[in-house]
Structure 1
């Protein structure tokens, strides 16, 4: 009874992936995405899409992590309509997406940043030594 629960929690990112699972060809990689105030000055909620599915919502100073199977992953960011002023839906320009490649056992961290072309993912160092 405990084993399925622990596996479900690990897949949801609540528990770390077991080392044996992460090292094999069927293992998982970890993708961490954070939103820091210095990088994105808007109070609006940012939606995180993977393979065109909304998988996360980030407010300032939040981060999310996902245990994912290896392979290419299309990631897109979008400001979501919300309660804060200026976050209402308007004319939406072309949204850029990024394709990340995740290997089994990888731990990749990105920060959400803003540039002339809108929101994008900026590689970030891990806050600890692996």
Structure 2
């Protein structure tokens, strides 16, 4: 019995030395949320979200995506992607970037809209 108690105390002492995991700590990032929740883009085609010229997300109607990014500038480009939906063949389109400046700890929400210049992001309220 005494050996079991000493063994338990030894194990508890060893666990006290190991640092506990924490969700706090380094939060040096910004959150970018891009949504296609509204019917502002009158197409059933999938929209590709490119961050710094790299395909990072794909959105159909009523979807959203989020990214944890380092602070600083990020170039965002949106384009229609060819897919299995009829009428979504690749074609010529205006491919321009929008530069967003992200701050540490900031949550940025944008929604996808379309006008005569093509697809672009509009700032949206967080809604909470």
Could you say whether these structures have the same fold, taking a TM-score greater than 0.5 normalized by the shorter chain as the test?
yes
The reply to whether residue 73 of structure 1 matches residue 85 of structure 2 is no
TM-score by length of 1: 0.77
Alignment of 1:21 onto 2:50: no
1:84-95 equivalences in 2 (<5 Å): 84-90=85-91, 92-95=92-95
Q: Over the residues paired in the alignment, what is the CA RMSD in angstroms?
A: 1.7
Aligned-partner SS, 2:26: helix
Instruction: Please say if residues 77 and 95 of structure 2, whose CA atoms lie closer than 8 Å, have aligned partners that are also in contact.
Output: yes
Q: How does 1:98-117 map to 2 (within 5 A)?
A: 98-117=98-117
Q: C-alpha displacement at 1:39, in angstroms?
A: 1.4
The residue aligned with 1:63 is 64
Distance 1:126 1:37, change over 3 A: closer
Q: Retained in 1: the 8 A contact 2:93–2:118?
A: no
Would the alpha carbon gap of residues 107 and 19 (structure 1) be closer, same or farther in structure 2, given more than 3 Å must change?
A: farther
Larger Rg: 2
Residues of 2 paired with 1:43 and 1:56: CA distance? 16
Q: Hey, what's the Cα distance between the residues in 1 that align with 2:61 and 2:106?
A: 26
TM-score calculated relative to the size of structure 2? 0.79
CA, structure 1 residues 85+127, in 2 after alignment: closer, same or farther (shift >3 Å)?
A: same
Structure 1 residue runs of 5 or longer lacking an equivalent are 1-5, 8-17
- SS of residue in 2 equivalent to 1:21: coil
Deviation at 1:21, TM superposition (A): 2.7
Count matched residues.
108
Show structure 1 runs of 4+ deviating over 3 A. Answer: none
